C-alpha cells in the first residue's frame, strides 16, 4: 500500500541551528512529493514540491528538500531556523494518475532560544 512515513513525532532545535526533518515514502513508482507547514491554528501552506529533475528543491521561507531515490526519502532542511519556524510539518505524496494525496503523520518542531 502507498504510504508516507515521518519517523520523528517531535523535534526541538535551538534558534539558529540547522534542521532536518525526515520523510520516507512507499510507492510503486516515484510519486509527486510535497512538504506542507501548519502554523498553530492555521491551515496548511505548501513549502515546496518535487516532480522530477534536480533532486535538490528550493522552497519558500529558506527551506529546501533533497530527493533520494535509493533511500525513498525526501528530507526537509533549513540551515538556520528562526523562532517563527515553530510549527507542524507534513510530508505528502501523490501517485501519478492517482488523485489521492497521502500525508505523513507530521513532525512538530519546537524552537528554543
Partner 1 sequence: EAQVTQNPRYLITVTGKKLTVTCSQNMNHEYMSWYRQDPGLGLRQIYYSMNVEVTDKGDVPEGYKVSRKEKRNFPLILESPSPNQTSLYFCASSWGGPGNEQFFGPGTRLTVL
Q: Pick the binder of partner 1 from 55, 71, 80, 98 (CB under 8 A).
A: 98
Number of H helices, E strands in the chain: 0, 12
Q: Which is nearer to partner 1, 32 or 62 (CB)?
A: 32
Give 28's contacts (C-beta < 8 A, 6+ positions apart): 2, 95
Measured CA distances, 24 to 2, 36, 40, 76, 86 (Å): 11, 15, 24, 11, 22
Stretch near partner 1 under the rule CB under 8 A, chosen from 22-30, 31-39, 68-76, 77-85:
31-39
Q: At residue 69, what are phi and psi to the nearest 5 degrees?
A: -65, -40
Q: Pick the binder of partner 1 from 45, 55, 71, 80 (CB under 8 A).
A: 45
Stretch near partner 1 under the rule CB under 8 A, chosen from 21-29, 34-42, 55-63, 64-72:
34-42
Q: How far apart are CA 10 and CA 34, in angstroms?
A: 19
Stretch near partner 1 under the rule CB under 8 A, chosen from 12-20, 53-61, 65-73, 89-97:
89-97
How many residues lie near partner 1 (CB under 8 A)?
27
Q: Pick the binder of partner 1 from 11, 19, 44, 86 (CB under 8 A).
A: 44
Q: Which residue has the cell 510549527?
A: 87
Amino acid at each position: 500500500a502507498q504510504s508516507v512515513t515521518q519517523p520523528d513525532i517531535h523535534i526541538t532545535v535551538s534558534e539558529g541551528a540547522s534542521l532536518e526533518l525526515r520523510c520516507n515514502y512507499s510507492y510503486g513508482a516515484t510519486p509527486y512529493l510535497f512538504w506542507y507547514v501548519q502554523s498553530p491554528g492555521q491551515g496548511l501552506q505548501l513549502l515546496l514540491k518535487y516532480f522530477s529533475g534536480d533532486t535538490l528543491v528550493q522552497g519558500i521561507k529558506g527551506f529546501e528538500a533533497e530527493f533520494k531515490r535509493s533511500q525513498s526519502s525526501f528530507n526537509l532542511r533549513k540551515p538556520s531556523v528562526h523562532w517563527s519556524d515553530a510549527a507542524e510539518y507534513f510530508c505528502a505524496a501523490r501517485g501519478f494518475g492517482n488523485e489521492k494525496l497521502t500525508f505523513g503523520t507530521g513532525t512538530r518542531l519546537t524552537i528554543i532560544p
